[in-house]
Amino acid sequence: MKSLSNNRELYEYLLFLSVELKKRKCDELSEAVTFASRQAAGNMITEFLGESRIALQRVLKEKVGVLSVQELDDLLDVLKQLNKTLDRR
């Protein structure tokens, strides 16, 4: 996955992941990712990034087996970017 250059790209990634999880009958995780994506509107950016990290860590912990190798690589890459960004704040 390429580096996310802005919060819009993170938002779009979260929406994509939420849809994929829903298709695979992982409704609770899909809802958690959707909740994180909704934090982009009207909240502090740190809250959006933090909720995104929490949701993605949960997906990694609970349902890594439902993700393809590429999807897992993308998720890990996004988490790495989020950690780097949040650790600088």
Q: Which pLDDT score is estimated for 14?
A: 97
- Look at residue 1 and tell me whether its pLDDT is greater than 90: no
| φ, ψ for residue 2, nearest 5 deg | -75, 160
Compute how many other C-beta atoms are within 10 angstroms of the C-beta atom of residue 28.
11
pTM of the entire predicted model = 0.90
> Which residue, among 51, 65, 53, has the nearest Cα to 21 in the 3D structure?
65
φ/ψ region of 42 (left if φ > 0, alpha if ψ in -120 to 50, else beta) reads left
The model's confidence at residue 34, banded by pLDDT at 50, 70 and 90, is very high
Helix and strand counts by DSSP (H, E) for the chain: 4, 0
Contacts of 86 (CB under 8 A, 6+ apart): 46, 49, 50, 53
